[in-house]
Structure formats: C-alpha cells, structure tokens
C-alpha cells in the first residue's frame, strides 16, 4: 500500500483519541442531553409494553374481564403513540447534533490540511485523501455519537429488562448469566480479524477513489492514447480486490452477529421450554411467560449492542489512526508574525538563501539578490533550475533551510501569512479556476470586492466586454478548472484577479507560455502598464517576456547571477 505520510520533521502533538473526540462532542452537551432524554423516554415506553401485554392476558383475557381488556388495550395504544412521538423528535435531535459533529470534524481536518505545504500534496493521491476525509472521518463521528447514545440506551434497557425479568421469574433469569459471557468470548476472538479486514477494505476503497480522481482528470489523454481498455481492465482488478476484501469482512462480521444470535435462540428456546412446563403445571401464568420471553429479547439486544460497541471501537480505531496520520503532519510553514509592517514599495531581497526539497538535491545555494521596489525584474533559467521553487519561497509555501528572504526589509516569517500572500500575488503558467461563477473566481483573492470593482478590474485586464456580452455576466458559471474558457481568457481573468488584490509585488511565473509571440508581447505590455510602479518579477525560460526588464538574473547552480543590461 502506497503511503508517504511519515513526516520528516517533528510532528505536532496529538491528544489522546478519547480527548480529541470529546473536544468535538463537548460543545453540543445540551443538545446531546436532550437527545438522551428523548431516548430514555422511548426506552421506558418500550419496556412498558410487555408488562401491559402480561396484564392484558392474565388480568383481562384469562380472567375474562372485559373492562381490563379495554383498559390495557387503551394503555398500549397510548404508549405506542407517545413512543412514536418521542422517537420522531429523538431522530431529529440526533440528526442535527450528529451532522454538526461530523462537519466540525471535517472542518478541523481540512483546516489542518490547508496548512500543509505543496510537497505534502505532491506525495499524496487525491483519492487517498478523499477516502480519509469522507469514510474515515464519518466512521469516527458515527462512533463518537452512536456509541454514546447506543451505550446509554442499551444500559437503561438492560437494567430495566433484567429487573422486570427478576420480578417475573428469578430462576429463568439465571439463563442470562450463561449467555453474556459466551457472547463476549466470541466477540473477543473475532475482534482482531475485524480490525485487520476493516483496514484492508479502507485501503482498497482508497485505491478506487484514487483511480477515479486520476483518470477523470486525464480522460482526454487516455482517449488520445487509446488507453480506455487498459483503464477499464485496471478498474476491474481494483473492483475485484475491493470485493474480495469486502466479502472477507462481511463473513467476519457475520460471525460476530450469527454466533451470538444462535446463542440467543438457544437461550430463548430453553426459557420457553422450562417456562412452558411451569405454565402447564400451573406454577407460572401464560402472560408472565410471554412477557418474560419478550424481556429476554430486550436483554439480549442491549448486551449485543454493548458488545457491538466493543467491535465498532476496533473499526473506529482504524479510521482514527488514518486520520491521526494526517493531523500529525507538520504544517508547511508557520502562521507568520503578528506585526503589521507598512508597505514601502515592494523591495525583495534574498540573503544567502539555501533550499532543497525533502530528499532532493539542493535547489538554491547561498542565493543572493535584490529586486528594487517598483522595478521589473526578469529571472531566466533552464527547466528544473528552481524558478518555480523561488516563486513558492516568495509566497512562503516553503521556508528556506538557511538564509532569509525579506519584503521591504522585513523577513517574510515576520509578516502575517495572509497579508504577505496578498502583497505578493502570483500569476502562474496554469491559471487555476474553481467551479463557480466568473465573479466568484475574480474576487477569490479579494472577497470584499463588489461587482463594480470586479468589472473595473476586468475592464483594465481587457476582458470586461467579454463578461458583459454573456447573458449572465459575472454570474456566468465556470466549468471545472475553467475548461469553458480559452487560454487567453483564463490568463486575463488571472490578471484581473491580481489587479483586485492590489499587490506590492506581482510574480509572473511563465505567464505567456501558451501564447504566440504577438499575443505574448501585447499581454506583457499591458501588464507593464497596469502594474506600473509595482515590483514585477517575470520568471521564464524564454527571452521574449523579459524585454524591457530593469534587472535580469539567471538562476544556475542554485544561485542568482545578475546579467548585464
């Protein structure tokens, strides 16, 4: 099984599993208490029904007492109505608190993932992360609440049913003392298999999610290279592996329910045999025997529930371990300082900067450079020289292993991270767009911008007329990753988005690689005009976008060498 979750640096501390789960349940204590009260009421109503049946038979039918028949029948109907109402409100209360806990868990895990660096996501399969965010987090949430409600309800039902059984016939009640230890031993023997096979099934599920996430994004390439049959065959193999593990798990879980169920059937049969003989001999009333049999079933259910929680804890332990691996990943960078440095024009300095990706060769070695405020700076270099890494360092997706980068004389880690990334904007080679409207995509870096501000920025980026020509204007939906737009339109949207952010430094990472020479020259001239007076850093392996630069650097052997003008 592919996994690359082992952090290279010390992992953040993670509380004990129960303490972590409790931190999500505690804020909803009031709602949980209400749900438990409703559950308690429903359980008491359930316990009341067999007792009413006993009196209906013994005091009404057997005694031929018409009034008793009507009275106990009416009480049974009333109890049923009350139980139904309590059950309905209890289900609504449970669904509400369950949903809130689930989303709080997901938001916490997702919030941590947002703090991890690009190298983490480069190592991970999207499907694997989706499997942990969906299946594993849901399993944890179900255990955190379901086990609580089930345990309380089962305990109340067990105590209540056992007490009533003792009142009815203490001799037959001794059968339960034989049943419970036998069920516990069966589940104890099967528990390790449940844990192993649950983990295996989760991994097969992650394999399927990763397959779909990968092939959907590469479908055009698969079609171009006639790979449909190969991918279908790969899906078939993954599906068969999933089915095999699912069947193994189902058989193991069948054992955890079938064997205890058989023990229950034997116990109930024994109780009915002994009780039936006592009824024939006049030592026990028929209604009391039927009520005892019903309460025996009510005792068995809670016992199986409590033992089932024990088995479910093993499945939850697998999920918690997988989520814990994510939560223990160290953040890519710190959140930054709390200073609010004043902008001074956007000067960038590199002072003896070293950097290497985890397990890789050095990318920057004692790199030094100064990009003056308001200047246009060109950085050239061969593919793989480290140009994109330098861009990531400017936005603090990574921190250097030695040396420092400064913005307006302030080390980057001393800037609040959100403020830094607003003052240093990046327009990359691949323009990233979200599924949503044009307006949402344009104001993504500046969510407070109104429609007038958005359209003004679009006009300056020369895409405003195109937006106004659309029937829905800014509300026009954008397809997945912006596939409904041309390359040039996506590029201009990215420029408009950067304009809205009003950055001190604009970094252009291979911004015109998809354009021809004429379009490239026109776009670069527009960028120079739109962002005049701001620091512009143009990163490219071609010479055309670099014309008119105030300073030009070549990135080679991990160092920035300034070229003569």
- The pLDDT assigned to 208 comes to 83
Among positive and negative, which fits the CA dihedral 167, 169, 170, 174?
A: negative
Q: What is the mean pLDDT of residues 300-308?
A: 70
In this predicted model, what pLDDT tens digit does every residue of 332-347 receive, in sequence order? Answer: 788 777 777 776 788 9
The model's pTM = 0.67
Question: What region, left, alpha or beta, does residue 202 occupy, with left being phi > 0 and alpha being psi -120 to 50 degrees?
Answer: alpha
Tell me the C-alpha distance between 366 and 559, whole Å. Answer: 7
Q: Are strands 362-371 and 535-540 parallel, antiparallel or unpaired?
A: unpaired
pLDDT of residue 142 exceeding 80: no
By percentage, how much of the chain surpasses pLDDT 70? 85
3-state secondary structure at position 234 = helix
- Mean pLDDT (whole number) for 84-101: 83
Please report the pLDDT score of residue 403 as a whole number: 92
- Among 152, 201, 162, 199, residue whose Cα is nearest residue 42: 152
3-state helix, strand, coil in the chain (%, to 5): 65, 10, 25
Mean pLDDT score, 250-259: 71
Task: Give per-residue burial for 283-297: e unless 16+ CB within 10 Å, then b.
Answer: ebbbbbbbbbbbbbe
Check whether 242 has a pLDDT greater than 80: yes
| Residues 331 and 115: beta-carbon distance below 8 Å | yes
Query: Is residue 162 over pLDDT 90?
Result: no
Give the mean model confidence (pLDDT) for residues 143-157: 76
Encode 472-491 in three state secondary structure.
CHHHCEECHHHCCCCHHHHH
* pLDDT surpasses 90 at 125: no
Residue 393 has a pLDDT of 92
Specify the pLDDT at position 516: 64
The dihedral region occupied by 427, where left means phi > 0, alpha psi between -120 and 50, and beta the remainder, is: beta
Q: Find the range with the poorest average confidence among 162-171, 308-317, 416-425.
A: 308-317
Instruction: Report the side by side order of strands in the sheet with 505-509.
Output: 424-427, 505-509, 535-540, 376-380, 551-556, 559-563
Least Cα distance to 256 among 309, 294, 215, 331 occurs for 309
Q: Read off the tokens for 555.
A: 């990135």
Asked if pLDDT for residue 106 goes beyond 80, the answer is yes
Q: Which two tokens mark 322?
A: 């997988």
Q: How confident is the model at residue 11 (pLDDT cuts 50, 70, 90)?
A: very low
Contact 496, 467 (CB under 8 A): no
pLDDT, position 274: 77
Phi-psi region of 281 (alpha: psi -120 to 50; beta: other; left: phi over 0): alpha
pLDDT, position 184: 64
Rounded to whole angstroms, what are the CA distances from 178 to 111, 254, 306? 50, 22, 16
Nearest to 422 by CA among 452, 448, 383: 448
Percentage above 90 pLDDT, the chain: 7
What is the pLDDT at residue 349? 93
For 435-494, how does the pLDDT look when each residue is reduced to its tens digit (9 = 90+)? 788 888 888 888 888 889 989 888 888 888 899 998 888 988 886 655 667 777 888 888
HSE-up (13 A, CA, CB side) for residue 532: 6
Residue 96 in this model has a pLDDT that exceeds 80: yes
Mean pLDDT, residues 233-250 taken together: 86
Asked which of 1-15, 457-471, 489-503 is least confident by mean pLDDT, the reply is: 1-15
**What is the C-alpha separation between 108 and 95, in angstroms, rounded?**
20
The whole-number pLDDT of residue 372 equals 92
> What pLDDT was estimated at residue 2?
37
Is residue 114 within 8 Å of residue 326, measured between CB atoms? no
Cα distances (angstroms) measured from residue 202 to each of 130, 132, 139, 303 = 11, 9, 11, 28
Considering only CA atoms, give the Rg of the chain: 34
**Higher-confidence position of 260 and 120:** 120
Of the pLDDT bands very low, low, confident and very high (cuts 50, 70, 90), residue 276 is confident
CB 401 within 8 A of CB 364: no
More confident residue, 27 or 544: 27
Mean pLDDT of the chain: 80
Which has the higher per-residue pLDDT, 515 or 445?
Answer: 445
Contacts of 406 (CB under 8 A, 6+ apart): 347, 348, 349, 351, 412
SS3 353: strand
What residues contact residue 210 under an 8 Å CB cut-off, 6+ apart?
A: 125, 126, 127, 128, 131
User: pLDDT-based confidence at 155, cuts 50/70/90?
Assistant: confident
336's torsion region: left (phi>0), alpha (psi -120 to 50) or beta? left
């Amino acid at each position: 099984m592919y996994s690359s979750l082992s952090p290279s640096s010390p992992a953040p501390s993670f509380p004990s599993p129960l303490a972590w789960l409790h931190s999500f349940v505690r804020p909803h204590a009031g709602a949980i208490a209400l749900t438990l009260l409703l559950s308690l009421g429903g359980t008491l109503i359930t316990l009341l029904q067999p007792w009413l049946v006993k009196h209906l038979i013994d005091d009404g039918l057997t005694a031929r007492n018409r009034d008793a028949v009507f009275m106990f029948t009416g009480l049974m109907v009333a109890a049923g109505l009350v139980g139904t109402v309590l059950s309905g409100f209890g289900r609504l209360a449970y669904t509400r608190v369950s949903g809130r806990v689930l989303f709080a868990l997901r938001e916490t895990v997702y919030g941590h993932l947002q703090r991890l660096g690009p190298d983490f996501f480069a190592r991970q399969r999207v499907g694997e992360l989706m499997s942990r965010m969906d299946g594993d987090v849901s399993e944890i949430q179900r255990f955190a609440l379901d086990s609580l409600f089930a345990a309380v309800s089962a305990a109340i039902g067990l105590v209540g049913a056992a007490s009533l059984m003792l009142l009815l016939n203490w001799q037959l009640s001794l059968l339960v003392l034989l049943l419970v230890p036998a069920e516990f031993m069966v589940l104890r023997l099967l528990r390790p298999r449940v844990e192993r096979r649950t983990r295996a099934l989760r991994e097969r599920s992650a394999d399927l999610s990763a397959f779909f996430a990968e092939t959907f994004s590469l479908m055009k390439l698969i079609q171009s290279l006639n790979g449909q049959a190969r991918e279908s065959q790969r899906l078939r193999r993954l599906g068969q592996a999933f089915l095999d593990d699912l069947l193994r798990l189902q058989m193991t879980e069948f054992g955890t329910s079938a064997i205890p169920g058989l023990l229950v059937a034997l116990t109930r049969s024994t109780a009915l045999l002994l009780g039936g003989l006592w009824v024939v001999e006049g030592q026990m009333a028929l209604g009391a025997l039927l009520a005892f049999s019903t309460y025996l079933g009510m005792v068995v259910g809670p016992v199986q529930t409590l033992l089932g929680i024990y088995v479910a804890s093993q499945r939850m332990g697998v999920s918690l371990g997988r989520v814990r691996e994510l939560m223990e990943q160290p953040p890519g960078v710190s959140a930054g300082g709390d200073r609010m440095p004043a902008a001074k024009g956007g000067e960038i300095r590199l002072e003896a900067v070293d950097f290497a990706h985890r397990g890789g060769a050095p990318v920057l070695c004692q790199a030094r450079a100064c990009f003056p405020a308001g200047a246009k700076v060109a950085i050239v270099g061969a593919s793989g020289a480290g140009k994109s890494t330098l861009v990531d360092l400017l936005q603090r997706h990574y921190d250097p292993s030695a040396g420092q980068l400064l913005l307006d004389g302030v080390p980057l880690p001393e800037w609040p991270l959100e403020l830094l990334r607003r003052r240093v904007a990046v327009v990359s080679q691949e323009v990233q767009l979200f599924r949503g409207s044009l307006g949402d995509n344009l104001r993504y870096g500046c969510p407070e911008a109104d429609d007038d501000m958005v359209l003004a920025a679009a006009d300056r980026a020369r895409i405003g007329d195109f937006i106004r020509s659309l029937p829905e204007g800014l509300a026009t939906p954008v397809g997945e990753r912006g596939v409904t737009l041309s390359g040039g339109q996506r590029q201009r949207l990215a420029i408009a988005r950067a304009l809205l952010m009003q950055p001190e430094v604009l970094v252009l990472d291979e911004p015109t690689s998809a354009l021809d020479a004429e379009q490239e020259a026109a776009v670069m001239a527009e960028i120079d005009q739109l962002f005049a007076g701001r620091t512009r850093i143009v990163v490219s392996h071609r010479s055309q976008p670099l014309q008119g630069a105030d300073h030009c650097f070549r990135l080679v052997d991990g160092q920035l060498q300034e070229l003569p003008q």
